[in-house]
Amino acid sequence: MLRVLLAFGPQRPVARVDELADAADVPLSSAYRYVALLRSMGLLAETGDGAYQLTPRVMGLAHAAQLTNGLSAQLRPVLEALRASCGESALFLRRAGDHVVCTELAESSHPVRLSFTPGHPMPLHAGAGAKLLLASLTRAEQEAYADRHAQELTRSARQKLLRELEPLARQGWSTSEAEVDDGVWAAAALVSDAGSAVGALTVAGPAFRLSESIRKNILASVRQAAGELSRTLGELGGRA
């Protein structure tokens, strides 16, 4: 999906779906699906002649990208350090509309199959990092999200989700088990800049090899790393 978005540029400000498929090197059916998703996120708009163009909302992404680029030199070493100390995969998640996307992954030497792979959009209502980003929204935004996903959330699931979000917003960290992938446990902590959520730092691995003490250590490591990233981002922003 990100390859489709990145297909736009100064030389291609407007494009048809078939042109985007060629530029992104994805099947035409996938290109149509990605374009529909990008439209739902408010990132693409139809020009009226079967072509598409970027919307002003992309400017917000550009600003976020500037912040991320300022942090990128710090982010990769932190993820690799987490992978080394925890022995599991470490990843960084960003919110994109109603979805969450993994933007950086340091995979462990004994990897586990994760649905959160770089560039692949996932819903906000499942998984430690995803729900943490959903919890960072206002209550009205959380309820609007739940309404838009009524087909995926039963009434009881909707109520349970909204109850879970309030403490997550206060504490800034979360854990989950088998919410997205069977047998996978994860810990996540929010990375913020001046009080605004930037992303979620996550470590995930097979639940069977993670004892309670190991889980506590992983969570502590993730929270410490997220705090350091937040401070680094604040310092970078202050020098901008």
C-alpha span between 9 and 29 (Å, rounded): 22
pLDDT for residue 113:
84
pLDDT tens digits, one per residue of 81-134: 999 999 999 999 988 888 898 888 999 988 788 888 888 889 999 999 999 999
Among residues 134, 98, 97, 122, which one has the least CA distance to residue 204? 122
User: What is the C-alpha to C-alpha distance for residues 179 and 187, in angstroms, rounded to an integer?
Assistant: 12
Class of domain 60-239: alpha beta
Give the pLDDT confidence of 132-147 residue by residue, as tens digits: 999 999 999 999 999 9
pLDDT score recorded for residue 240? 42
Q: What's the CATH number of domain 2-55, 3.30.70.980, 3.30.360.30, 1.10.10.10, 3.40.50.300?
A: 1.10.10.10
Domain borders along the chain are: 2-55, 60-239
| Cα angle 30, 43, 139; round to 5 | 110
Residues 148-207: tens digit of each pLDDT: 999 999 999 999 999 999 999 999 999 999 999 999 999 999 999 878 898 999 999 999
The pLDDT of 204-215, averaged and rounded, is 95
